[in-house]
Chains A and B, each alone.
Chain A
Amino acid sequence: MSRISHIEINNFTSFSRLEQDFSPGVNILIGENGTGKTHLLKILYAACAITAGEDKEKSYALKLRNVFNPYEGRMGRLSRRQASSIKTKVIVTRQGGAKLAAEFSNHTNKPEDVKVTGEAGWQKEELTSAYIPVKEMLAHAPGFLATAAKREIAFEEVYIDIIKRAFLPRLMGSTDANRQRLLTALQKAIDGKVVAKGEHFFLKNKQGDLEFTLLAEGMRKLALVWLLIQNGTLLSGSVLFWDEPEANLNPALMGEVVEVILELQRLGVQVFLSTHNYVLLKEFDLRKQKGDAISYLALFRDDSGAVVCNASDSYLGVHPNAIANTFNHLYDRELQRSLGGLKA
């Protein structure tokens, strides 16, 4: 399957103009709050989502609206805010050259009024994907889908989608050695397997069945990844979007999470993740092996306030590195305190 290779964004939310190539492996988005990391993940996820399953019925514009959930569902609210009228355009490109574009203005209200091009060709080839949001959702699964279907809650569609993907049945047939190795590693980390009874998820281990509400949030996230691998959502050629994998996770578990992400990439899964976490970044730097394809994308605001991106293939080449800069500042202050007043 052809992965996502490029994006071009004009005047979308905080982006003025952005053109960026992506790695077929792991793409790590770094940047301060409000630099559009999650927005970028959602733009790409919406493009993948409409190629498979029930979302195939949706247009790219509708999926974009649903994952962003703007006020009153108005598309124009996704345009970059400025005093005058503005044209917004997003173009996502896949390996092989297929392009999907959405074009609208800040005055556009309905998704039907968005000019979408390339959709038929884009949807010909399925691109299975999963978007893991910052908030853990499996524990809230009971009743959530029914409530969401009645439009009684204002959740972005990524939350609904991830629960639906978690409910997918186990992939039929035998599990190949690589996937089994990943599943076993995750089972070790979460100390059990995940089972679903109706709309309730449980962690099954020697102690019995533990309901998800009794588990630490970090554990629930690892359990979710286990489910997505087990049910075949994350297979070679699929795309994983993971917003802040570090959220609610003990730093000691970060190494295992990074190892799982790298292994998925080695199996052929394209990964996009956003992070604020130094330990996660450093784990990638230390665990990266020859042949691993990792791209670090540093998002930051230029002098005009527009978000721009610097890409690097190595951790040390990341610039600006908002996470490292924070530590450098702390270290400088620590040295000042430890060595304060030291004169010749």
Chain B
Amino acid sequence: MTVLVEKDLQVTLPATVSGRKFDDETAHGLSHCMKAVDFIIELEDRVLFVEFKDPENPKAHAKDREAFIRKFLSGQIDTDLKTKYRDSWLYEWAQGRAEKPITYLVLLGASTLSGADLLARTEALKRQLPVAGPGDQPWKQAFVAGCAVMNLAAWNKALPQFPVSRVRS
């Protein structure tokens, strides 16, 4: 069983699944010029790129928390999210590892976000990555199979096999 931890959030993987911390300066080695998602999880038929954003980290100030939620809802962090995905994909591709379809999962430690908010951000991220190629046609070589923006409740409902939780809980 592997537990991947990023500050106050963690995802627990079943024994059959391997995962690694990707946004790690030493292992990544190119942090000065490439952005990175937090984790890469290997499944039999696909790969998961996982990014955690945690405005509700108990150490965060209330003001910063609200500022983040506003930034998130207005789409201002979409650029950050898409760049992390693209750079991570390029890194893995150039290392000869981008062979399986990749699904991008963004976990937000923000319990107050509604289904409408998360739906809107999932759609926005799909457009930004972008999931579809020119003319809204599929890419000849897909570089992202799908993406989803979830909070803890949505994640645990959709992906009970990879439970996420707070480290301190």
Q: Which residues of A contact B (CB under 8 A)?
A: 278, 282, 316, 324, 327-332, 334-339, 342-344
B115 at the interface (CB under 8 A from A): yes
B146 and A339 form a contact (CB under 8 A): yes
B122 and A338 form a contact (CB under 8 A): yes
B94 at the interface (CB under 8 A from A): no
Q: How far is the CB of B40 from chain A (nearest CB, A)?
A: 15
B116 and A339 form a contact (CB under 8 A): no
A316 and B112 form a contact (CB under 8 A): yes
A327 and B116 form a contact (CB under 8 A): yes
Instruction: Determine which of A328, A329, A330, A339 lies in contact with B158 in the assembled complex, contact meaning CB atoms within 8 Å.
Output: A339
Q: How far is the CB of A288 from chain B (nearest CB, A)?
A: 14
B161 and A328 form a contact (CB under 8 A): no
Q: How far is the CA of A327 from the CA of B121 in the complex (A)?
A: 13
Interface SS of B by simple majority = mixed
B148 nearest in chain A by CB position = A338
What are the residues of chain B within 8 A of A336 when measuring CB–CB? Answer: 158
A334 and B162 form a contact (CB under 8 A): no
B118 at the interface (CB under 8 A from A): yes
Query: A278 with B103: in contact, given A338-B148, A343-B161 (CB under 8 Å)?
Result: no
B147 at the interface (CB under 8 A from A): yes
Q: How far is the CB of B113 from chain A (nearest CB, A)?
A: 10
What are the residues of chain B within 8 A of A327 when measuring CB–CB? Answer: 114-116, 119
Query: A331 with B118: in contact, given A316-B112, A338-B148, A342-B159 (CB under 8 Å)?
Result: yes
B161 nearest in chain A by CB position = A344
B30 at the interface (CB under 8 A from A): no
B115 and A331 form a contact (CB under 8 A): yes
Residue contacts A-B, CB under 8 angstroms, 12 given: A282-B116, A324-B116, A331-B119, A331-B122, A334-B123, A335-B154, A335-B158, A342-B43, A343-B43, A344-B13, A344-B43, A344-B161
Considering the complex, which residues of chain B in the window 106-126 have a beta carbon less than 8 Å from any beta carbon of chain A? Answer: 112, 114-116, 118-119, 122-123
Considering the complex, which residues of chain B in the window 14-50 have a beta carbon less than 8 Å from any beta carbon of chain A? Answer: 14, 16-17, 43-46
Considering the complex, which residues of chain B in the window 74-100 have a beta carbon less than 8 Å from any beta carbon of chain A? Answer: none
Q: How far is the CA of A337 from the CA of B147 in the complex (A)?
A: 10
Q: How far is the CA of A286 from the CA of B161 in the complex (A)?
A: 35
B48 nearest in chain A by CB position = A342
Instruction: Determine which of A324, A334, A335, A344 lies in contact with B114 in the assembled complex, contact meaning CB atoms within 8 Å.
Output: A324
Interface centre among A329, A334, A342 (most CB of B within 10 A): A342
A335 and B116 form a contact (CB under 8 A): no
A324 and B161 form a contact (CB under 8 A): no
Q: How far is the CB of B108 from chain A (nearest CB, A)?
A: 13
A278 nearest in chain B by CB position = B116
B161 and A332 form a contact (CB under 8 A): no
B105 nearest in chain A by CB position = A339
B9 at the interface (CB under 8 A from A): no
Considering the complex, which residues of chain B in the window 122-169 have a beta carbon less than 8 Å from any beta carbon of chain A? Answer: 122-123, 146-148, 150, 154, 157-159, 161-162
A323 nearest in chain B by CB position = B116
Query: A334 with B122: in contact, given A328-B115, A339-B146 (CB under 8 Å)?
Result: yes
Q: How far is the CB of B100 from chain A (nearest CB, A)?
A: 12
Given A328-B116, A334-B148, A344-B13, 12 further pairs, Cβ under 8 A: A324-B115, A327-B115, A328-B114, A329-B115, A331-B115, A331-B116, A335-B154, A336-B158, A338-B103, A338-B122, A344-B16, A344-B17
A339 and B148 form a contact (CB under 8 A): yes
Q: How far is the CB of B13 from chain A (nearest CB, A)?
A: 8
Q: How far is the CB of B133 from chain A (nearest CB, A)?
A: 18
A315 nearest in chain B by CB position = B114
A336 nearest in chain B by CB position = B158
A338 and B116 form a contact (CB under 8 A): no
What are the residues of chain B within 8 A of A332 when measuring CB–CB? Answer: 115, 157-158
A334 and B112 form a contact (CB under 8 A): no
Q: How far is the CA of A344 from the CA of B148 in the complex (A)?
A: 17
What are the residues of chain B within 8 A of A331 when measuring CB–CB? Answer: 115-116, 118-119, 122, 154
Q: How far is the CB of A283 from chain B (nearest CB, A)?
A: 12
Q: How far is the CA of A106 from the CA of B115 in the complex (A)?
A: 43
Interface centre among A316, A334, A338 (most CB of B within 10 A): A338
Q: How far is the CB of B4 from chain A (nearest CB, A)?
A: 14
What are the residues of chain A within 8 A of B154 when measuring CB–CB? Answer: 331, 335
Q: How far is the CA of A332 from the CA of B148 in the complex (A)?
A: 11
What are the residues of chain A within 8 A of B105 when measuring CB–CB? Answer: 339
What are the residues of chain B within 8 A of A339 when measuring CB–CB? Answer: 103, 105, 146, 148, 158-159
What are the residues of chain A within 8 A of B13 when measuring CB–CB? Answer: 344
Interface centre among A282, A324, A335, A337 (most CB of B within 10 A): A335
